[in-house]
C-alpha cells in the first residue's frame, strides 16, 4: 500500500507542497480559538434518502438535526460523480483533470492536500474509515483506513504500522474509532477529522437489527422508476446500472444452493437473474417480468436504507459525544456523501450520470457559534469547494491552484454578489463499470446541457418545468437560442477550469458544432 515510485514531476510537486506547508507554519493565526472541523462523509448516500431533503423512503432524525440546528445546502454537486475522483477533488480542491484522478487511478500523495495544509497550520488531523485512493493518506497525525472498499462485517482497518481486524459492523467500528480520536486528541490544538463511512455503498449489507426492521417494509417507487428513456440519447439505453436487469444475485441477497464453492459460487452470485423463486404469504412463487422488477427494487432499497439507518445512528452518537464534552459550540460538523445515487430513479441504482440524483451531494453543516438554525442555501456549491472551505474555517490561506471557493459566506447566509451561477461536470470512466458513456456538461440554476462526446449526442433539460429530466429539448424547434447560450456557457466553464488542453488531445468528432470546434481552436 506504499506510494508510487517518485517521478520527477511528483518530486517537484512534493517540494512545492513542502514549501507551501513551510510558509503556512509561519502564518498560523494567533488569538481567538479556531473551530474543530468534523467532516463526516458516507459513500453513495443520496440526498433524497435524508429526511431533511424531503425523503419519501426513510427517516433520518439525527441527520435532520444537523439541518435544523444548522444549514442545509440543496445544490452542492460532485464534479465527477464517482467515488475515487470525488475524494481526490475534496482533498485537493481541484477538478479531476487537474488532480489527475479521473477514474480509479491512484492518487499521487505528493500533491498538496487540505489535510497537509491544516496539519501544517496547527490542526491535529485524522482520517478514519474509507479512503479508497490507491495510495496511503498523507497529512494526518493519525489515520486508520479500510483497504480498498473494505468489508461491512468484522472489517480490517490498517495504519502505517499494521492492520487490525475489528469485530462488529463497519459503521459502528468507524464511529468508535472516530470517538476515540476525539477523546485522545491533544487539547492544545483544534482538530480536523475526516470520518468516512463505507455505507451505504454496494453490496448494501445492513447490520442484523436494521436489516430485520426493513425486511417487510414497502418502499414507494420513484416517479421515474419506469422511465422508458424516450427523447434521451443512446447513453441511458446502453447503461448497465438498471434495477430491472443489472442487479446480481449477491446484490439481491439470494441464497446459493448448498455445496457451491469457489469459481462456481462466484459465477452463481454474479449472475443477474431474470427469474427469482421466493415465498410470498407462505406460498412459493416464481417472479418474472414486471413483478420481478418491482421485487428487485424492494430488496435493493430495503438493504440500502437499512445501511443508511446505521449511518444516521452514527451521526447521533457523534452529536451526543460533542454535547457531553462541551464541544458542540465550536465544532463544525459537516455531513456529506462522495456523490449522490439513483434510488430506482430512471430505473437505475448507481451514479456516474450527470442527472440530478447522481450529482447532488447532501451537504449539512452545523456550527452553533456562527450558523443560524434552519439556514438554507440553494446556491451552487461543488466538492472542489470543500478544501477551500476547511482552510477558510481554519483561517488559513487558500493556495492559488485550488479551483473551488469557500462556502463559508453561504453558511453565514450571505452569498457574495459574484457567486457562481453554473457548474462544470465531467465523467470519464468509459469504457468502464456499468457501461456509462463519457460525458461532460453544464448545469445552471434552471437548465442542464450534457454532451456525450464520444457519441456526439446532446441532452438539454429545463430543470424548472422538467425537474426529473425526462424531456430532452436538444434539437427541438424553438430551443436554438437556449442551446446556443448553454453551449457558450459550457465553453466558458471549460476554459475557466482549464479543461482545454486535455480536450484538444482527445478524439473528438470533427466539426460537430461551434462548441467543439471552438475548443479545438478551429
**Contact status: 357 vs Ca ion (CB under 5 A):** no
What is d(CA 275, CA 163) in angstroms, rounded to the nearest whole number?
42
Q: At closest approach, how far in Å is the CB of 336 from Ca ion?
A: 11
**Contact status: 43 vs Ca ion (CB under 5 A):** yes
Q: Which of residues 416-455 bind Ca ion (CB under 5 A)?
A: none
What is d(CA 93, CA 388) in angstroms, rounded to the nearest whole number?
7
Cell 472498499 belongs to: 149
| Residue (95 or 123) nearer to Ca ion, CB | 95
What is d(CA 77, CA 380) in angstroms, rounded to the nearest whole number?
7
Cα separation of the two ends of the chain: 45
Binding mask 309-348 for Ca ion (x = CB under 5 A): -----------------------------x----------
| Residue (331 or 337) nearer to Ca ion, CB | 337
CA dihedral for 250, 253, 255, 261, sign (positive or negative): positive
**Contact status: 350 vs Ca ion (CB under 5 A):** no
Q: At closest approach, how far in Å is the CB of 201 from Ca ion?
A: 6
300 and 247 in contact (C-beta within 8 Å)?
Answer: yes
78 and 359 in contact (C-beta within 8 Å)?
Answer: yes
Q: At closest approach, how far in Å is the CB of 132 from Ca ion?
A: 8
| Residue (83 or 361) nearer to Ca ion, CB | 83
What is d(CA 279, CA 274) in angstroms, rounded to the nearest whole number?
17
Q: At closest approach, how far in Å is the CB of 295 from Ca ion?
A: 26
295: which 3 cell numbers? 421485487
Secondary structure of residue 236 in the 3-state scheme: helix
| Residue (86 or 112) nearer to Ca ion, CB | 86
Residues in binding contact with Ca ion, number by CB under 5 A: 4
293 and 244 in contact (C-beta within 8 Å)?
Answer: yes
Binding mask 80-99 for Ca ion (x = CB under 5 A): ---x----------------
Q: At closest approach, how far in Å is the CB of 417 from Ca ion?
A: 34
Q: At closest approach, how far in Å is the CB of 224 from Ca ion?
A: 21
Residue 74 buriedness (CB in 10 A; 0-12 / 13-18 / 19+): middle
Binding mask 216-245 for Ca ion (x = CB under 5 A): ------------------------------
Q: At closest approach, how far in Å is the CB of 249 from Ca ion?
A: 23
**What residues make contact with Ca ion under the rule CB under 5 A?**
43-44, 83, 338
Amino acid at each position: 500500500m506504499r506510494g508510487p515510485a517518485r517521478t520527477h514531476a511528483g518530486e517537484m510537486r512534493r517540494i512545492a507542497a513542502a514549501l507551501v506547508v513551510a510558509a503556512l507554519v509561519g502564518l498560523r493565526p494567533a488569538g481567538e480559538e479556531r473551530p474543530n472541523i468534523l467532516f463526516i462523509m458516507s459513500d453513495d448516500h443520496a440526498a433524497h434518502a435524508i429526511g431533511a431533503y424531503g425523503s419519501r423512503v426513510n427517516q433520518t432524525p439525527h441527520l435532520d438535526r444537523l439541518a435544523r440546528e444548522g444549514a442545509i445546502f440543496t445544490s452542492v454537486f460532485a464534479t465527477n460523480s464517482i467515488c475515487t475522483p470525488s475524494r481526490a477533488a475534496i482533498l485537493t480542491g481541484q477538478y479531476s483533470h487537474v488532480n489527475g484522478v479521473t477514474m480509479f487511478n491512484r492518487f499521487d500523495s505528493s500533491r498538496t492536500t487540505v489535510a497537509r495544509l491544516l496539519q501544517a497550520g496547527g490542526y491535529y488531523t485524522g482520517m478514519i474509515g474509507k479512503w479508497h485512493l490507491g495510495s496511503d493518506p498523507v497529512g494526518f497525525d493519525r489515520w486508520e483506513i479500510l483497504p480498498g472498499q473494505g468489508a461491512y462485517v468484522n472489517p480490517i482497518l490498517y495504519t502505517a504500522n499494521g492492520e487490525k481486524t475489528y469485530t462488529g459492523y463497519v459503521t459502528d467500528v468507524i464511529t468508535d474509532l472516530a470517538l476515540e480520536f476525539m477523546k485522545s486528541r491533544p487539547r492544545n490544538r483544534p482538530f480536523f477529522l475526516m470520518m468516512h463511512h463505507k455505507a451505504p455503498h454496494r453490496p448494501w449489507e445492513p447490520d442484523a437489527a436494521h436489516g430485520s426492521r426493513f425486511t417487510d417494509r414497502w418502499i414507494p417507487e420513484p416517479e421515474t422508476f419506469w422511465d422508458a428513456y424516450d427523447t434521451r440519447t443512446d447513453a441511458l439505453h446502453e447503461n448497465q446500472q438498471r434495477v430491472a436487469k443489472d442487479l446480481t444475485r449477491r446484490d439481491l441477497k439470494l441464497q446459493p444452493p448448498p455445496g457451491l464453492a469457489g469459481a462456481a459460487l462466484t459465477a452463481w452470485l454474479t449472475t443477474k437473474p431474470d427469474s427469482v423463486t421466493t415465498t410470498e404469504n407462505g406460498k412459493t412463487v416464481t417472479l418474472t417480468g414486471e413483478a420481478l422488477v418491482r421485487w428487485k427494487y424492494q430488496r435493493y432499497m430495503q438493504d440500502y436504507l437499512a445501511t443508511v439507518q446505521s449511518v444516521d445512528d452514527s451521526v447521533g452518537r457523534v452529536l451526543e459525544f460533542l454535547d457531553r464534552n462541551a464541544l458542540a459550540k465550536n465544532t463544525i460538523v459537516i455531513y456529506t456523501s462522495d456523490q449522490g445515487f439513483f434510488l430506482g430513479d430512471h430505473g437505475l441504482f448507481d451514479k456516474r450520470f450527470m442527472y440530478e440524483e447522481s450529482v447532488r451531494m447532501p451537504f449539512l453543516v452545523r456550527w452553533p457559534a456562527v450558523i443560524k438554525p434552519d439556514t438554507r442555501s440553494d446556491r451552487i456549491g461543488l466538492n472542489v469547494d470543500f478544501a477551500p472551505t476547511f482552510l477558510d474555517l481554519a483561517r488559513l490561506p487558500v493556495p492559488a491552484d485550488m479551483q473551488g471557493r469557500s462556502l463559508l459566506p453561504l453558511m453565514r447566509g450571505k452569498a457574495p454578489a459574484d457567486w457562481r451561477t453554473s457548474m462544470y461536470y465531467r465523467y470519464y470512466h468509459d469504457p468502464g463499470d456499468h457501461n456509462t458513456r463519457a460525458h461532460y456538461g453544464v448545469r445552471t440554476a434552471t437548465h442542464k446541457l450534457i454532451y456525450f462526446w464520444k457519441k456526439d449526442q446532446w441532452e438539454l433539460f429545463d430543470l424548472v418545468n422538467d425537474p426529473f429530466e425526462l424531456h430532452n429539448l436538444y434539437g427541438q424547434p424553438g430551443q436554438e437560442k437556449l442551446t446556443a447560450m448553454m453551449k457558450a456557457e459550457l465553453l466558458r466553464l471549460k476554459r475557466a477550469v482549464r479543461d482545454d488542453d486535455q480536450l484538444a488531445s482527445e478524439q473528438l468528432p470533427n466539426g460537430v458544432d461551434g462548441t467543439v470546434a471552438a475548443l479545438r481552436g478551429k
